[in-house]
A = this chain, B = another copy of it.
Amino acid sequence: MSQGNNDVSVEPTQACVAGDAPFTPGQAKACTVREVLDRVGGKWSIGILVAASQGPVRFTELERHVEGISRRMLTLTLRNLERDGLLSRTVYPTVPPKVEYTATPIALELYDSLVALTSWAERHRNAIAEARTAYDRAHGGTA
């Protein structure tokens, strides 16, 4: 890979993380990754996002779909996602209220990006688990 240089000690030119990554033209934009993670990294964001990416979903459907989630968290995450323009909320002013959440094109793109992470997780799932066990045995187990 293209990481043979160990001159990390050079000033990063930015208060953020490394910006001279192969994917950043000339400026440090890696901070945005954190923003993404902050946004999407919530405990339930992805579950909701994934569910909404399949098509319009109703509140209760989400509640059942994600299952472990509480009402509060569902509402909160929904609001955040909506606020960020990742979900669109459609209210049908019927007698029994009906609200549908749909993933916006932006969210669908993110969902797509998530695939990369997922496949990575899939590939190295066992390796990570083993690394953990090995580490725990080597450190915590000996004490």
What is A's interface to B at a CB cutoff of 8 Å?
1, 3-9, 12, 15-18, 20-24, 29-30, 32-37, 39-41, 43, 46-47, 50-51, 53-57, 61, 64-68, 82-86, 103, 106, 108-110, 113-125, 127-128, 130-132, 135-136
Contacts and interface: CB of A to CB of B under 8 A. Distances in A.
A30 to B, nearest CB: 6
A113 B20 CA distance: 16
State the majority secondary structure of interface residues on A.
Answer: helix
Given A17-B50, A54-B5, A124-B109, A118 B37 contact: no
A39 B129 CA distance: 12
Contact of A84 (B24, B67, B86, B132): B132
